[in-house]
Amino acid sequence: MNMLTAYGKPLQTYISIHQIGENAIFLNRSRPVVLWDLESQMLVFISDLNFPLLPEIRLCFDIECQGELLCRTYGKLLWKENSLTEAIQYGVLLEPGEVNIAKKITHTLMGGRIDDHKYDFHMDLMNDKGSGQIFDIFT
């Protein structure tokens, strides 16, 4: 499994449908997704959910670290790519006016809102915790 981290701290991402067209959606539930890439105005995630590519769907992303919400951002699906498995990779265009999400996460982590613990992600890889890669956010 691939995991996006910020300064060695694992990030958890949850997705929910926020709006379809002019109608707000109140499902009061979300699903975890794998955050694959994060840029200033774009987010890439992997999920087993099969979303249609409709411009009317507005998604909500809650990005957490150690159980604390770092940021909530919204966006619309831009592209999707199927794979040989049930996982689907999606590209999301974040709403204009959002600050650079990577910088926002870095500011929150470095500002001391998240406890600094001795998590060594390099040792985690060497201890064979998984066969994937670990990505890190740098601004």
Q: For the segment 64-92, what is each residue's pLDDT rounded down to a tens digit?
A: 888 888 888 999 999 999 888 889 999 99
Other beta carbons within 10 angstroms of residue 3's beta carbon come to 19
Give the pLDDT score at 1.
40
Residue 25: domain span: 3-137
What is the reported pLDDT for 119? 46
CATH for 120: 2.40.10.220
Q: What is the pLDDT of residues 33-59, one digit of tens each?
A: 998 888 878 899 999 999 999 999 999
Residue 16 pLDDT class (50, 70, 90 cuts): very high
- What is the C-alpha separation between 121 and 108, in angstroms, rounded? 20
Instruction: Among 1-10, 37-46, 102-111, name the most confident range.
Output: 37-46
Domains: count for the chain? 1
- Select the more confidently predicted residue: 98 or 20: 20
